[in-house]
């Protein structure tokens, strides 16, 4: 049984992310969701807001923690005493990037491996950016997000 780190931007957390978190929490002793702070993309939600949203949707999972981090992912994994990194794979396009990322991480931190969970078919098309784009044009986002998160996105777009 291992401690896993699931890193990402989570801007905002989608049902696809939640599915990966729930499935990893069943196979890992502990899952630490790492919210990336210094993102090159300009995020819709602050790190604090993203962490709080993740805390809300994972409150029923006792072995899941949520933390913000910046800097190198492998340094964060070491700080957390993590054994593995969890990433979700949706499509071929994810595969190339994820392969590069995991191989680079293994060179700089050989003791940390990456485990990939394939997306739930229901959410294979889903990404935070698509959700934000739909919300920007006042489309219905209720099929992609937890109701509380969907409410926060709508509020943010109207602000």
Taking the C-alpha atoms of residue 147 and residue 136, their distance in angstroms, rounded to an integer, is 17
The active-site residue, picked from 9, 24, 25, 128, is: 128
Is the backbone peptide bond immediately before 12 cis, with ω within 30 degrees of 0? yes
2 near 84, Cβ under 8 Å? yes
- Please provide the distance, in angstroms rounded to a whole number, between the alpha carbons at the two ends of the chain: 44
Cβ closest to ligand ADP, residue 10 vs residue 45: 10
Closest separation in Å from C-beta 128 to ligand ADP: 5
Closest separation in Å from C-beta 114 to ligand ADP: 9
Cβ closest to ligand ADP, residue 147 vs residue 158: 147
Cβ closest to ligand ADP, residue 42 vs residue 158: 42
Active site residue 128: yes
Closest separation in Å from C-beta 98 to ligand ADP: 7
Cβ closest to ligand ADP, residue 25 vs residue 119: 119
Active site residue 90: yes
Closest separation in Å from C-beta 125 to ligand ADP: 7
Give me the sheet containing 64-69, strands edge to edge: 64-69, 30-36, 3-8, 84-89, 113-118
Q: Is residue 8 within a helix (H) or strand (E), and if so which, with residue range?
A: strand 3-8
Active site residue 17: yes
3-state secondary structure of 1: coil
- Give the footprint of ligand ADP on this chain (CB under 6 A): 8-10, 14, 16-17, 20, 87-88, 90, 94, 119, 123, 126-128
The active-site residue, picked from 9, 17, 25, 30, is: 17
Taking the C-alpha atoms of residue 32 and residue 87, their distance in angstroms, rounded to an integer, is 12
Q: What are the catalytic residues?
A: 17, 41, 90, 128
């Amino acid at each position: 049984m291992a401690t896993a780190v699931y890193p990402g931007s989570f801007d905002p957390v989608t049902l696809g992310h939640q599915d990966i978190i729930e499935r990893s929490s069943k196979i890992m002793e502990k899952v630490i969701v790492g919210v990336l702070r210094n993102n090159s993309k300009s995020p819709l939600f602050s790190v604090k807001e993203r962490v709080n949203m993740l805390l809300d949707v994972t409150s029923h999972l006792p072995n899941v923690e949520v933390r913000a981090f910046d800097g190198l992912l492998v340094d964060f994994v070491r700080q957390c005493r993590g054994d593995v990194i969890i990433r979700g794979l949706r499509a071929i396009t994810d595969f190339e990037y994820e392969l590069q990322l995991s191989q680079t991480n293994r060179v700089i931190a050989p003791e940390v491996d990456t485990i990939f969970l394939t997306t739930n078919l229901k959410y294979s098309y889903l990404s935070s950016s698509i959700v934000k784009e739909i919300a920007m044009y006042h489309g219905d986002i209720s099929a992609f997000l937890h109701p509380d998160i969907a409410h926060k996105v709508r509020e943010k777009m109207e602000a």
